[in-house]
Chain A
């Protein structure tokens, strides 16, 4: 018995006005996040404790629309901002077939492509709590995923987007995002590596100018 089962029981048989999002109930659609006893969890994968008592609250750091339904519109805008698509100078024609990508090249970005946009990391992030403009763990990890993809040539452009404004440098490396991620993505690592990549890139461009 999972927390989501209890929510469904309540809305089916006790109070139909209870509002919460869910769909796949197998931990991949990312819609059923909530605080379970104070910790951000997917309710479909959070077992009900032995005591039978559990506190369920809407995810922190988002405006509550109703009950457990929170407004994630801000995140949807951040998604577009990191340009999460392949950027290339010249696009290969379909007739030329696939871009070869060795398993070790896939491995480089694979974990960062596993994000289900469940928002648990934003609910756990102290920087986002203080500044809603902060790009945040999931959007940054997604942008970084494309930077690591051997098919992509947009890393420099994306690094500017990832570090500009309330970008990656605002991250204080608390690491809560990676702890709560239900898909073992490590967005804290992505944020640190974005900082390093951006520093290296700007250093290189300073050195080039110095020549």
Chain B
């Protein structure tokens, strides 16, 4: 017997974007019932790992135009400028809103919010809560959301697919991890806020939950993914683990040094030095290593992030988490020694194609946060814009979905409308898939073998540097892995917290997302932002000042192009 639930709005994912959307919808009307589904407890969401801060224009020396220009230049002119203008306009009130809800922002002596420098931002505009901004933002949002009885949580429920009928979304199928029971949740509007897909890479700052689930379920429901070739690599992660060492450590004055003790960025970003954008810095680090100026360690080559000159007081007040992470996970005290670092996958700029209200082309389906692609990030996101993005577009998606769902309710529709086929039809597809895993005899290779093959091919062939042949190989290999997955071996036949089954579904999702990334990277025969083609090392505005959409077809991704919205800032050469 399949359980059935009904909500006006179902939100998938309870990180910053999902929670902000939920609160926006709950305050829009208390008549609306909001289901909030997440495969982990909300406070485990990966927003928790964001460290450096949240960008917004709140200082008198700053301006909206400057934040917009920095963001657009940072995006290598691929951001939609109308979206960026709206984003910078709404970010300040979102930061204030979080302040009113109790977020422990760091302060100036006079009690005002403190701002710090960040890569690609021309003035100090990144508001922060020490170096645990994501943690505090997430917990503040989650705790505040507990005020609203209309938000009904489904903690540790894993969403497997969307139900689409009559050209609109009608609900979703979810799995209760405690029992492996399936449920059908009907809803007038569904908001996908499941974050990125960093785990398709071997070396990533992302938590294990970041497997692109929402991107894949939207893609499979016929919604295009946009600008998927743009994968951000963060210049400074701990070798071995991939643990993020925040850009704030450079914002506060830290140096990057090579084996000769040289601040090598003078040869790459002479004006901005350590505060250049992430795409250029990550390439610079790899270049230094390739030219023999890196260090060799047990986890491969690395460079050094030196904070010693900041002194213990600054480190403990502004960067306490960096010190804790370096001590616990690398046995290094940054007060006394430089921290070994190397670039690691960090963020997916691309995602579910939406407009500025979070609407996807499928009526009733919304997306926000890292899962979505509005796009304000274009080819390269600036550090500290992502938390603001979650807030601004989480709220907008929540409000728009609320108004849509309310109009349907007032029009006499049940949430999700009247399905012409039974909801069991949707759940039975998922049930079949589960049974194939649970009841399969034998099986050959372990899931981990397929996962590691994917992670390794993405790292080497769809990484910081790419070229035609490698991308074609990557596509072939991803398709081959897709063929191998159904015959993988599954040990766990139980139904209580069958994490192996969850990981099988996640891997299945990641393979779709990875295919779309490799495909879009192959099609973009130029270099722009985080996408660097060694065979096409120049930006080519004549042919590629365009977004790329990819649609799911049985033969693989199908591409479409979409114009970039340029309002006031004409593309020029990007220098730092």
Contact = CB atoms under 8 A, between A and B. Distances in A.
B245 to A, nearest CB: 10
Contacts of A130: none
B97 A98 contact: no
A105 B102 CA distance: 13
B97 A94 contact: yes
A176 to B, nearest CB: 21
Interface stretch (A65-73, A155-163, A164-172, A201-209): A65-73
A122 interface: no
A102 interface: yes
Interface in A107-121: 109-110, 113-114, 116-117
B41 A86 contact: no
B551 to A, nearest CB: 31
A29 B48 contact: yes
Interface in B193-249: 207-209, 241, 243-244
A69 B494 CA distance: 14
Contacts of A12: 446-448
Contacts of B43: 29-30, 116-117
B497 interface: yes
B278 interface: no
A86 B100 contact: yes
Interface string B96-116: 110111101111111111000
A127 to B, nearest CB: 24
Contact of A79 (B45, B104, B106, B146): B146
Nearest to B95: A98
A101 B321 CA distance: 22
Contact of B113 (A65, A94, A98): A98
A54 B194 CA distance: 35
B62 to A, nearest CB: 14
Contacts of B106: 103, 106
B500 A17 contact: yes
Interface in A157-208: none
A135 to B, nearest CB: 15
B49 A28 contact: yes
B534 interface: no
Interface string B45-89: 110110000000000000000000000000000000000000000
A116 B243 CA distance: 18
B155 interface: yes
A21 B484 CA distance: 27
B446 A103 contact: no
A128 B44 CA distance: 23
A91 interface: yes
B499 interface: yes
Contacts of A22: 208
Contact of B492 (A17, A69, A84, A91): A17
Contact of B146 (A21, A85, A102, A116): A85
A96 to B, nearest CB: 9
Given A69-B497, A91-B100, A97-B96, A26 B49 contact: yes
Nearest to A149: B102
Interface in A40-72: 45, 65-67, 69, 72
A131 interface: no
A20 B111 CA distance: 43
Interface string B102-132: 1011111111110000000000000000001
Contacts of A65: 178, 496-497
A134 interface: no
A24 B207 contact: yes
A116 B48 CA distance: 9
A46 to B, nearest CB: 10
B147 A23 contact: no
B473 interface: no
B324 A27 contact: yes
A94 B44 contact: no
B143 interface: yes
A13 to B, nearest CB: 6
B308 interface: no
Given A23-B208, A85-B144, A105-B111, A98 B99 contact: yes
A152 interface: yes
Contact of B139 (A66, A113, A152): A113
A116 B100 contact: no
B135 interface: yes
Given A23-B207, A23-B208, A86 B243 contact: no
B102 A23 contact: no
Interface in B121-178: 132, 135-136, 139, 143-144, 146-147, 155, 178
Among A11, A26, A92, A149, find the residue whose CB has the most chain B CB atoms closer than 10 A: A26
A110 B494 CA distance: 43
A76 interface: yes
B143 A16 contact: no
A85 B41 contact: no
Contacts of B492: 16-17, 19
Contacts of A109: 104
A84 B324 CA distance: 26
A174 to B, nearest CB: 26
B345 to A, nearest CB: 15
15 contacts: A11-B500, A16-B447, A16-B491, A17-B493, A17-B498, A19-B497, A23-B40, A24-B48, A26-B49, A31-B41, A86-B102, A86-B144, A94-B100, A102-B110, A116-B43
Interface of B: 40-41, 43-46, 48-49, 93, 96-97, 99-102, 104-113, 132, 135-136, 139, 143-144, 146-147, 155, 178, 207-209, 241, 243-244, 321, 324-325, 328-329, 446-448, 489-494, 496-500
Pairs A-B, 5 closest by C-beta atoms: A100-B111, A17-B492, A12-B448, A16-B491, A23-B207
Given A28-B132, A85-B143, 10 more contacts: A19-B497, A23-B44, A23-B207, A25-B208, A25-B243, A26-B49, A30-B44, A31-B44, A94-B96, A103-B106
